């Protein structure tokens, strides 16, 4: 795939979400980065971003991770 482009836009999304303090998009950006790194077989980076997403989503019951269903 085009992982370099996916990562580029993932980091742009994450930066925007962090700068605007948008919690839900921040969680989804971290989750997406985790998916990209997992697909690239960089499991350490994937775990890092999945954990960040989980930490964000677990602070509010209205957020449900797809992997937790």
Rounded to two decimals, the pTM is 0.84
What pLDDT shows up at residue 27?
A: 93
Cα angle for residues 55, 7, 67 (degrees, 5° grid): 40
CB neighbour list of residue 69: distance below 8 Å, 6 or more residues apart? none
pLDDT, tens only, 1-44: 788 998 999 999 999 999 999 999 999 999 999 999 999 999 99
CA 26 to each of CA 23, 35, 38, 67, 69: distance values in angstroms, whole numbers, following the listed order: 5, 14, 18, 17, 20
């Amino acid at each position: 795939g085009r992982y370099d482009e996916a990562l580029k836009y993932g980091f742009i999304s994450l930066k925007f979400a962090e700068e605007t303090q948008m919690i839900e998009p921040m969680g989804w950006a971290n989750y997406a980065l985790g998916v990209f790194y997992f697909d690239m077989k960089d499991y350490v980076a994937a775990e890092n971003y999945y954990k960040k997403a989980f930490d964000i989503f677990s602070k509010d019951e209205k957020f449900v991770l797809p992997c937790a269903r």
